Homo-oligomer: A and B are copies of this chain.
Amino acid sequence: MSGTLFVVTAPSGAGKTSLVRALLERMHGLELSISHTTRPPRTGEVHGKDYYFVDETRFHAMASDSEFLEYAQVFGNYYGTSEAWVKQQLARDIDILLEIDWQGAAQVRRLMPAAVGIFILPPSRESLEQRLRKRGKDSEETIRKRLSQARDEMSHYGEADFFIINDDFDQALEELYAVVLSRRVQTAQQSQRHADTIRLLLS
């Protein structure tokens, strides 16, 4: 198993989704985790590409068999990350990126201590508020609630291995890229990947 699981956490409004999208475009061998869900597929969504669509019976069976690294219920639907699926990808030397909140991240870390946690923070409360307001569709009450949730979420920044402040987008992207790339050249990873080269060098 030479791939790495990267767990990315951020408060709503920190710009995580844009950063992750840009990173996936730039980087080979890094893929987004594909969740299992009980939510019905939307138009265009493909089983095994966007999600693994399963019914509730199957989902609960997987949960009761401890097959999920983490799972949660959102708006009545279940979403979970299959441990076996993640480990299959890592064994194929593919790095997996999982976007998740701090609670899910804590669960994953317990089950896979080698996972790398990355926290994305906004540069200030003001910028967070601006980004949340820019969406323009939320009531003042909703925005207040989201700001409060964001503060709770951010208070867990210290549990991640790395944190990146998304002030300048390009700089933040470069830092995110560096975290993934540097992991690939850690001695443990490289020794597996380049076992033949090393054997020849030292023969």
Q: A residues bordering B, Cβ < 8 Å?
A: 119, 121-125, 128, 151, 154-155, 157-158, 160-165, 174-175, 177-179, 181-187, 190-191, 194, 197-198, 200-203
Contact = CB atoms under 8 A, between A and B. Distances in A.
Residue from A124, A165, A187, A198 having most chain B Cβ neighbours under 10 A: A187
21 contacts: A119-B187, A121-B197, A121-B198, A123-B197, A124-B200, A128-B201, A151-B202, A157-B187, A157-B198, A161-B186, A162-B182, A162-B190, A163-B185, A163-B187, A174-B181, A175-B185, A178-B181, A178-B182, A179-B182, A181-B182, A182-B183
B185 A154 contact: no
A122 to B, nearest CB: 7
B194 A185 contact: no
